[in-house]
Structure 1
Amino acid sequence: MKSPTLHDVARLAGVSSATADRVLNRRGNVAEKSVRKVEEAVNQLGYVRNIAAANLSKKRGYHLAFVLPRRSHAFFGRMHEQLQKAALHLKSARVSIDVIEFEAFDIHALEAALSGLSETNYDGVAFVGLGQEAALKPLEALRASGVKVVSLVSDGPQDCRDHYIGIDNEKAGRTAARLVGMAHAGNIGRLIVAAGSLDARDHSDRIKGFRAVLKRDFPNIEITPVIETMDQPRQMRELLSERLRNDAGNTAIYNVGSGNEGLVDAIRMNGRDGLSVCVVHELSTCTRDALEDGTIDVAIDQRPEIELNRALALLQAIVDDLPPPPAPELIPAIYLRDNLPNE
C-alpha cells in the first residue's frame, strides 16, 4: 500500500499543500482551526514526515554540545574517545558537536560550562549531572530558549532536562550489595566503601541502593565510614591504604566511582588478607589487568559508549520533535576474570 503523502494530508484537511507544510514543519502563521484539521488528517492517514529529506532540502544540520568532565577520568575518557570515533559519521549526517569540559565533581565548574550556552544557537545539549542544584538557572535558560537538554550518567531534577540517559544507579548499587553478600556466605563482614563524592547523584544513589540490600538481607556485614576520593587515583591510594593498614577485620571493598588505579595500587601494596571480595565500577585497562591477576573480583561496567550513542540519537530525534527512539533499559555489564570481552 502506498504511503500517504503531504498532498493526501492537505486534501483530507481541506487546506493547501503549503498550509499543511507550514503546520507539519511548525513554521507558524496558520489559523488554529487549520492546524487542528491538518493534525487530524495526519493521525487519520498515519502520515510520517520524512525528516531526513526535509532537513537535506533545507540544508539543515544539528548543532549539539556535550558538556563532559575532563578526559583524565577513565570513564569519561571513553566518552570523549567515542565522540572522536563517531566524528566522520556525524559529519556526513550534518551533525556538528562541541565538547565543553569541566572538572569532575565541581558543581560551580559545571554551572560555568553551562552558562551562556543558550546564546550560542545549539539545538541540543547533553551534560553530565552533579545533582544540578547550582546549575538549575543555566539549564532553565537553555530550555526556555528552545534547546533540548539531556542529562547523562547522573540524573537530577526532571524539570531541568528533557530526558535522562544512563543506568539505574540505585539498581547498580543493589547489584553490588548482592555480590558482596553472596561472597560472605552468611559470615560476619566489615566493608570499606569508596566514592568520588557523596554530592554526586549517581554515587549517592548507588550507595543508597547498596545500603538498602545489606540492611535487609545481609545485616551481618558492617559498612565503615565512606571514603571520598574525588575519583583521584592518588587520593584513593592514600586513603584506602591507610584504612587497610589501620583497621582490622576488613572483608570487602566496594568502589562506587572511579580512581581504580589507586585502588589497585593500594591492594597490591597492602595485600588481600581477609578480603572476601572487591567490587568496582568501570572496565578499563587497569581493572581488566586487576581482574585477570585476582587483585579485584568484579567490575560493573555501564558501557559509556552506548550511553553516548543513545544521547546522539535521542538529541537528533527530539530536536526534530520526534518521540525518543525505542531502546531497552540500559543494564550494566558484570565482568569477572572469566567473561572479559576481547580487547
Structure 2
Amino acid sequence: MIAKPTVNDVARVAGVSLATVDRVLNERPGVRAATIEKVNRAIAELAYVRDTAAANLARSKTYRFAFVLPDWKGQFFASLMGSIEEVAAQAHLDRTEIRTILVPNHDHTFLVRELDALGPDEIDGLAIMSKETPVVRDAIIRLRRRGISVVTLITDQLGSERDHFVGIDNVAAGRTAGMLMGRFLAGRQGKVLVVVSSRQSRDMLERRHGFDQILGEQFDHLNAQPSIEGHEDPGYTEAVVLTALDQYRDVVGIYSAGASVLGVAGAIAKHNFHGRPIFIDHELTDNSAHFIREGVLDAVITQNTGHLARSALRVLRAKCDNKPVIASQENIRIDIVIRENLPTMK
C-alpha cells in the first residue's frame, strides 16, 4: 500500500482523469454512476484521506457559520459570548466567518422567523441554543432540509433532525448533583427544592430527571419537590424560592438546575433557617464563586464555555466536509467546583 496516497494515485488506480476524481470528491455533476463507483473503490483500496483544508484553500472555500442564542444578561451567558468572540477572532485563519444572532428569550415567533430567513446561499451551518418547542423543532428540520448543518448548544432539541449536540450530558450532570446532595446532607432527612430557569428547556428537564434518579436509588429519605421556575430573573427567582421556603419548613437542600444563583442566594439570606440548607448550583461565574467563598453555595457543576464554542465550530466544519466527528475531542466534561478547588476568576 502507498504510504500517503494522493489524488494522482486515486486517478491511476481508478483509470480516470484527475478532473474526474476532483468532480467525484467535490460531488459535482456530470459523472456517471459507474465512474463514481470506480473512484470510490480506488479511494477505499488506497485508504486515501483527503486534505480538506488544502482543498478548501484551492477552491477559495469559506465556511459561513452562525451562533443563534437567547438575549440573556447573566454572567454565564456573558462568558459564553466571550468564548464565541475569541473563536470568531481567530476563525478567519481557517477561512471561517462567524456571526452571532441574538433573539428575545421568550419570543419563539421571532426566533422561527430568523431561522426561516436563513438560506444555504448565505450560511453553511449554525449552532443554536433555545428552549425546546414544536415550532423551533420544526424550524430546525426545515433548515436541515435546505442543506444547512445544525448543532444544538448546551440544551438539545429532540426530534429536530439536528446534526449533533454540543454540551454536557445533562442527565449525568443531574445525577452528579443528586449524589453531591445526598453525600453532603449525610443522612439529614427533609425536603429538597429544585429551581430551574424554565420547564421548556431540555437541559433543565434532563438535569431534573438525573437528580430524581439518584435520590430515588440511593437517598429516598430526601423528598424533592416540584420544580420551581425562575425565568432567568433574579428578583422573581428570589421571590418564588422564598415562598417555597415559607411553605416547606423542613427544607434541607436546594438544587438550582440552572436558575439565577443571585435569586436563590438572596432567598437563603432572607429566610430564617434552623440549619442552613445544602445549596448546589450549575455554571461557575463570578457570582457563584463569591457564594462558594462565603459558604452559601456548597458546589457548582459546570462546563467550559471555551470548549463549547470550539467544539461547536469543529463539529460544524466536520459536517460541512462530510467528515466524522471525533467523539473524544467533542466530549464536554462535567466539572465539579467546591471551595477547596475554586479557581481564580478573571
8 Å contact from structure 2 (residues 87, 309) kept in 1: no
Q: What residue is the counterpart of 2:336 in the other structure? A: 334
Distance in 2, matches of 1:266 and 1:237, equals 5
8 Å contact from structure 1 (residues 105, 197) kept in 2: no
* Displacement of 1:119: 5.8
TM-score by length of 1: 0.94
* Displacement of 1:26: 1.1
Q: What residue is the counterpart of 1:286 in the other structure? A: 287
SS of 2:301's equivalent? strand
Instruction: Assess, with a 3 A threshold, how the Cα gap between structure 1 residues 105 and 209 changes in structure 2: closer, same or farther.
Output: farther
* Displacement of 1:297: 0.3
* Displacement of 1:138: 2.1
* Displacement of 1:64: 0.5
8 Å contact from structure 2 (residues 193, 226) kept in 1: yes
Q: What residue is the counterpart of 1:12 in the other structure? A: 13
SS of 2:340's equivalent? coil
8 Å contact from structure 1 (residues 283, 299) kept in 2: yes
* Displacement of 1:123: 0.5
Distance in 1, matches of 2:48 and 2:270, equals 65
Query: C-alpha deviations, 1:250-299, integer Å up to 9, x for none?
Result: 11100011311222222223365423410000100000010011011001
* Displacement of 1:315: 0.6
Instruction: Assess, with a 3 A threshold, how the Cα gap between structure 1 residues 272 and 105 changes in structure 2: closer, same or farther.
Output: farther
Distance in 2, matches of 1:29 and 1:158, equals 35
SS of 1:251's equivalent? strand
* Displacement of 1:86: 2.1
8 Å contact from structure 1 (residues 75, 258) kept in 2: no
5+ residue gaps, structure 1, are none
Q: Which aligned pairs between 1:22-101 and structure 2 lie closer than 5 A?
A: 22-101=23-102
Q: What residue is the counterpart of 2:219 in the other structure? A: 218
* Displacement of 1:219: 1.3
Query: C-alpha deviations, 1:63-95, integer Å up to 9, x for none?
Result: 001101124133222221111122331122221
* Displacement of 1:25: 1.2
TM-score by length of 2: 0.93
In the alignment, residue 338 of structure 1 is paired with which amino acid? E
Distance in 2, matches of 1:283 and 1:217, equals 27
Q: Give the % identical residues.
A: 33
Distance in 2, matches of 1:131 and 1:186, equals 36
Aligned CA-pair RMSD = 1.8
* Displacement of 1:232: 1.4
8 Å contact from structure 1 (residues 51, 320) kept in 2: yes
Query: C-alpha deviations, 1:71-130, integer Å up to 9, x for none?
Result: 413322222111112233112222111211123355444323322113652111110142
Q: Which aligned pairs between 1:159-198 and structure 2 lie closer than 5 A?
A: 159-198=160-199
